Amino acid sequence: MKKGLDEQKFLSACIKCGQCVQVCPVEAIRLSDMDEGFGLGTPHISARDQACDFSCDGLQCVLACPTGALTHDIDYPAQSRMGFARLARPSGCLAVQGKGFKGLARGPGFRGKLRYDEVDRWHAIPVAQHPYDLELCDLCVRQCPIEIRRGQCAAGHPPSGDPNQCPPRRAISLEPITTADGRRAMRPVVHDGCVGCGVCEMICPVEPAAIVVDIDRDADTVRG
Amino acid sequence: MGYIIESLRQVFGAAPRKPTPETQTVEVREIYRQKRGKGTNRRELAELIEADTTRHRWRIRRWITLILVNLLFVISYHFDVQLVEGALTASRVVGFHFADLNSALQVMLAYKHVVLNLVIGTSTVLVLWWLLGGRTFCSWVCPYHLLAEWVEPIHLWLVRKKIIKGYSFHRGTRTVFYVLFALLALGTGYTVYEWISPTGIVSRALIYGPGLALIWVGVLLAFEVFVSRRAWCRYVCPIGMTYAIVGAVSPVRVRYNVVECKHEGECRDVCLVPHVLSMTIKGRSPDVEVDVGSDCTRCGMCVDACPTGSLRFVVKGLEHLL
């Protein structure tokens, strides 16, 4: 969310009131504690526990921020900059191994939420209530909020009927690869439309997650 | 004008002015003359205090208010009532921006932008606390104040039992800290004071759940128990200083009347900022009636403690209406 603001500016602008925490429908935002650096009382997102799934659609945290620490210059999810995803452990990735996935992505005890448009357009539901049965695991691509929006736009139904909601660039896709032992498999590739929301990291069913979000990079720094 | 200047002098750390016979009114000199030689009968005073049935009236009102205000933040979030969103540093009250004056100042100094929402928020808060008495925020809203108030008797007991010695510092220390925190925000680009502010930490802990930062609050409270009575509020807090400046022009004040006063200092003993009550010392009041300076948090402890009714709340300009 801190597009155009580096970390230092963000920390200087934040008044530590937590209004962003209060409006987030999936409770992705938490305030940092004393052992988490100089940002005591400032918001952060631990994507593995609860990513920003943009299920508020309107960037509620940005609207709630009284100081513009979460910059008021952005209106749509695709404009946000929270980090950048990276396939950190390709060997753990089920798609790279050519494997499917069946069951609950993060097990029955996982408390994170995600909005599934086909289940409930308005409310996120616990990931633990949404089992999958996939021939090849593509969860990071399938649940990517940017990719979901691109799909809706391609089908002629942009979110809220607003074409501005359509992300201009791809965020992630599965690309075919040939494994070392000659088998054909797929590999998730992050593109410069990634905003670092962290849904891929949250939903990744292997432990530890094969794909993670780096918060010190974003689409702009990656693109150069 | 004299009230504002004297208030601000004391807020920045100067000792209260001692009136000379020339600067005292004829009436007050006459009252002091009549009191001369008449010492207070300690037993009579004790009986007066015993007979006072309203000894905790303002404290009860204040504690209820303080707890309710903070509870409102907690309830608004946890039950999604959306009456008061945010924390004490900044909030929306039924949608209107509120921002703590010192927090907003820290952010603007560090960020080096004038943020419109903060200008709106601080204006609302400025008007609110101008109307309600400035440092009224401290004793009627600040949750750290309440914690400090609750541990204060331990400090007083330890001192009374001579287990520890209580230290006091020059009140000008707070002015030094105020400038220091402002310069730090400007120089480092970080809201340094917000990082250590027990008001912010306790407010957020109540709303968003406790954290390690409460250890710092514990350290401060321990310092106040074992070293120096109410040290944070007296010698450090820039929030209190900001509101003390606002309070210099506020109509809500505690007013002192010398006529019935026994000059025994019951009021100064319970006061967070006893220098504002220097006029209750025999011979020190410039007039028959004097308003207590703006470093006063309008907590009402002196009003409660006074057995003779010599201290009372007034709203300047409304005396004749009420």
**Two tokens at A37?**
């650096």
pLDDT one-digit tens code per residue, A49-59? 999 999 988 89
For B27-41, B168-182, B188-202, B248-262, which range has the lowest pLDDT when averaged over its residues? B27-41
Q: Is B96 helix (H, G, I), strand (E, B) or coil?
A: strand
Q: What is the 3-state secondary structure (H, E, C) of B289-308?
A: EEECCCCCCCCCHHHHHCCC
Taking residue A76's Cβ as centre, other Cβ atoms within 10 Å add up to 18
List the beta strands (DSSP E) in chain A: 29-31, 43-45, 84-87, 101-103, 113-114, 125-126, 132-134, 172-178, 184-190, 211-214
Question: Given this model, what pLDDT does residue A2 score?
Answer: 44
**Two tokens at A122?**
């308005």
Higher pLDDT, B51 or B314: B314
Quote the ipTM score.
0.88
> Contact A66/B117, CB-based, under 8 Å?
yes
Q: What is the mean pLDDT of chain B?
A: 93
Structural domain count of chain A: 1
B70 and chain A in contact, CB less than 8 A: no
Rounded distance, CA A65 to CA A22, Å?
A: 11
pLDDT band of residue A121 (cuts 50, 70, 90) is confident
Decide if A45 is inside a domain.
yes
- CB A60 within 8 Å of CB A23: yes
**Two tokens at B208?**
């968003």
For A108-122, A164-178, B37-51, which range has the lowest pLDDT when averaged over its residues? B37-51
**Distance from first CA to last CA of chain A, Å, rounded?**
19
Place of tokens 């409660």: B304
For A127-141, A144-158, B47-61, B291-305, which range has the lowest pLDDT when averaged over its residues? B47-61
Rounded distance, CA B152 to CA B230, Å?
A: 7
A221 and chain B in contact, CB less than 8 A: no
Tell how far CA A12 is from the center of its chain: 25
Q: Is B267 helix (H, G, I), strand (E, B) or coil?
A: helix
**Two tokens at A148?**
């979901």
Place of tokens 């029955």: A108
pLDDT band of residue A3 (cuts 50, 70, 90) is very low
> Contact A66/B99, CB-based, under 8 Å?
yes
Decide if A48 is inside a domain.
yes
- Pairing type for strands A113-114 and A125-126 reads antiparallel
> Contact B90/A33, CB-based, under 8 Å?
no
Q: Is A183 helix (H, G, I), strand (E, B) or coil?
A: coil
A214 and chain B in contact, CB less than 8 A: no
For A43-52, A64-73, B234-243, B255-264, which range has the lowest pLDDT when averaged over its residues? A64-73
Question: Given this model, what pLDDT does residue A68 score?
Answer: 87
Q: Is residue B147 exposed (0-12), middle (13-18) or buried (19+ Cβ within 10 Å)? A: middle
pLDDT band of residue B129 (cuts 50, 70, 90) is very high
> Contact A66/B204, CB-based, under 8 Å?
no
Single out the residue of A115, A120, A138, A2 nearest to residue A54, CA to CA: A115
> Contact A67/B86, CB-based, under 8 Å?
no
- CB B115 within 8 Å of CB B186: no
Question: Given this model, what pLDDT does residue A222 score?
Answer: 82
Is the bond into A208 cis (omega within 30 degrees of 0)?
yes
Which whole number is the average pLDDT over A132-138?
95
A12 and chain B in contact, CB less than 8 A: yes
- Is residue A224 scored above 80 in pLDDT? no
**Two tokens at B77?**
């979030």
Q: What residues contact A181, with CB distance under 8 A and at least 6 apart? A: none
- CB A177 within 8 Å of CB A187: yes
pLDDT band of residue B205 (cuts 50, 70, 90) is very high
Decide if A111 is inside a domain.
yes
Taking residue B134's Cβ as centre, other Cβ atoms within 10 Å add up to 29
> Contact A8/B189, CB-based, under 8 Å?
yes
Chain A: nearest CA to B161, how far in angstroms?
36
The Cα-based distances of B83 to B61, B74, B92, B132, B291 in angstroms read 22, 10, 8, 20, 35
Decide if A26 is inside a domain.
yes
Decide if A2 is inside a domain.
no
pLDDT one-digit tens code per residue, B69-122? 999 999 999 998 888 999 999 999 988 999 999 999 999 999 988 888 899 999
Which whole number is the average pLDDT over B143-159?
97
- Is residue B22 scored above 70 in pLDDT? yes
pLDDT band of residue B202 (cuts 50, 70, 90) is very high
CA dihedral sign of residues B224, B229, B230, B232 = negative
Rounded distance, CA B310 to CA B289, Å?
A: 9
Taking residue A163's Cβ as centre, other Cβ atoms within 10 Å add up to 9
Single out the residue of A110, A121, A123, A125 nearest to residue A201, CA to CA: A110
B92 and chain A in contact, CB less than 8 A: yes
State which residues form the domain around A68. Answer: 7-223
- CB A40 within 8 Å of CB B215: no
DSSP B232: I
CA dihedral sign of residues B212, B214, B217, B221 = negative
- CB B288 within 8 Å of CB B259: yes
B105 and chain A in contact, CB less than 8 A: no
- Is residue B285 scored above 80 in pLDDT? yes
Q: What residues contact A152, with CB distance under 8 A and at least 6 apart? A: A117, A158, A159
B217 and chain A in contact, CB less than 8 A: no
pLDDT band of residue A1 (cuts 50, 70, 90) is very low
Question: Given this model, what pLDDT does residue A4 score?
Answer: 41
Which whole number is the average pLDDT over A141-145?
97
Q: What is the mean pLDDT of chain A?
A: 91
Rounded distance, CA B192 to CA B190, Å?
A: 5
Task: Say what the pTM is.
Answer: 0.90
CB < 8 Å to B201, chain A = 40-41
**Two tokens at A5?**
């603001």
Q: What residues contact B80, with CB distance under 8 A and at least 6 apart? A: none
Which whole number is the average pLDDT over B197-215?
95
